[in-house]
Amino acid sequence: MSKRMTMKGTVIGNKMQKTVVVEIINKVAHPMYKKYVNRKTKVYAHTESPLDAGATVVVQESKPISALKRWIVVDVVNTDKK
């Protein structure tokens, strides 16, 4: 079992070679109103196989691969397009 953090997100960009942009949505309680709001995070992830935009993937943190990439695509959960 790895100690590295894994998260599930949606591919929103695939214009680069061996890199996809993954959007991760976290639900966070608002400090004053206690309503749950969505917080979005974009991460650059390394992948060997090409992925289409809209695919749901599991990404895992890794050592820095390039100036922006610090995540690796571990598993493709769903390949639905938008």
pLDDT tens sequence for the chain (82 residues): 779 999 999 999 999 999 999 999 999 999 999 999 999 999 999 999 999 999 999 999 999 999 999 999 999 998 876 5
What does the radius of gyration of the chain's CA atoms come to, in whole angstroms?
14
Residue 56 lies in a domain: yes
pLDDT at 24: 98
Containing structural domain, residue 14: 6-78
What domain count does the chain have?
A: 1
Residue 1 lies in a domain: no
Distance CA 32, CA 57 (A): 33
pLDDT at 82: 56
Contact 53, 76 (CB under 8 A): no
- Classify residue 34 as left (phi > 0), alpha (psi -120 to 50) or beta: left
Cα(first)–Cα(last) distance of the chain, in Å? 33
Residue 61 lies in a domain: yes
Distance CA 17, CA 26 (A): 27
pLDDT at 2: 77
